[in-house]
Structure 1
Amino acid sequence: MYIRVKRHKTTYFLQCDPTETILDVKQKLHSLIDHVTSNQRLILLATGETLDDNKTLAEQKVENDAIVALTLRKDNNEFEEVHIEKPEDVGNSPEPDVSLG
């Protein structure tokens, strides 16, 4: 299975197994973002739940292609707010006038 981990404008695609714990996922992220696991918090966007390090993805109902928000611990020891920027809506541009025939 794959999960999408999002933070600000960045998305990480991680291949995972449903039996992996959240701590396992954080360790994968550690190799990508250079933040220790204790400074990471993962939140399942579908439910808003903070994911428990000791539970598996399956136990917390994290399914294939789930979107998980990553927040990091700030200098004041608090975690930052979830902040995910959506790409600009490209559907707003006018359609080109194309005639067939």
Structure 2
Amino acid sequence: MAMYIRVKRKRTTYFVHCDPSDTVLNLKTKLSCLTETPPNNQRLILMDSYHVLDDGRTLAQQQVENNAILALTLRKRDGYWEDIDIDMYNGHNVFDVDSN
């Protein structure tokens, strides 16, 4: 069963078409084409629970459901992660990412 999730970073939202059986690493690979950031420098956080998603587990295993909002943070040059910085209410740049 296909689903869409919203991945947000700053004022950008990516609408990603995926399957519950996709791993987080698979999702990060899709995002790397748009963000020009390798998967190992991306961190995804489920906004309902603020749970950092595990690359090796599926979206379903981590309770990521259709229309979920994930925050994307990137690794900084010093090795630490950016803080979550998403704009939930103002205009966004929107990208639709299809799994096909």
Calculate the TM-score normalised by the size of structure 1: 0.85
2:86 to 84, 87, 95: 84
Looking at structure 1, the residues matched to 77 and 58 of structure 2 have their Cα atoms a distance apart, in angstroms, of 29
> Which residue pairs with 1:20 in the alignment?
22
Q: Amino acid of the residue matched to residue 27 of structure 1?
A: T
Q: Which runs of 5+ in 2 are unaligned?
A: 92-100
Greater gyration radius: 1
Looking at structure 2, the residues matched to 15 and 79 of structure 1 have their Cα atoms a distance apart, in angstroms, of 26
Looking at structure 2, the residues matched to 61 and 73 of structure 1 have their Cα atoms a distance apart, in angstroms, of 24
Q: Amino acid of the residue matched to residue 63 of structure 1?
A: E
Instruction: Report how far residue 55 of structure 1 moved.
Output: 0.3
Higher strand share: 2
Instruction: Report how far residue 73 of structure 1 moved.
Output: 0.3
Provide Cα deviations, 1:11-64, integer angstroms capped at 9, x if missing partner: 000000000000000000001111000000000000000000000000000000
> Which residue pairs with 1:54 in the alignment?
56
RMSD after superposition: 0.9
Q: Which runs of 5+ in 1 are unaligned?
A: 89-101
How many positions carry a matched residue from both structures? 88
> Which residue pairs with 1:31 in the alignment?
33
- Percent of aligned pairs sharing the same letter: 52
Looking at structure 2, the residues matched to 58 and 9 of structure 1 have their Cα atoms a distance apart, in angstroms, of 27
Looking at structure 2, the residues matched to 63 and 78 of structure 1 have their Cα atoms a distance apart, in angstroms, of 28
Q: Amino acid of the residue matched to residue 59 of structure 1?
A: Q
If asked which structure has higher relative contact order (CA below 8 Å, sep 6+), I would say 2
Instruction: Report how far residue 80 of structure 1 moved.
Output: 0.3
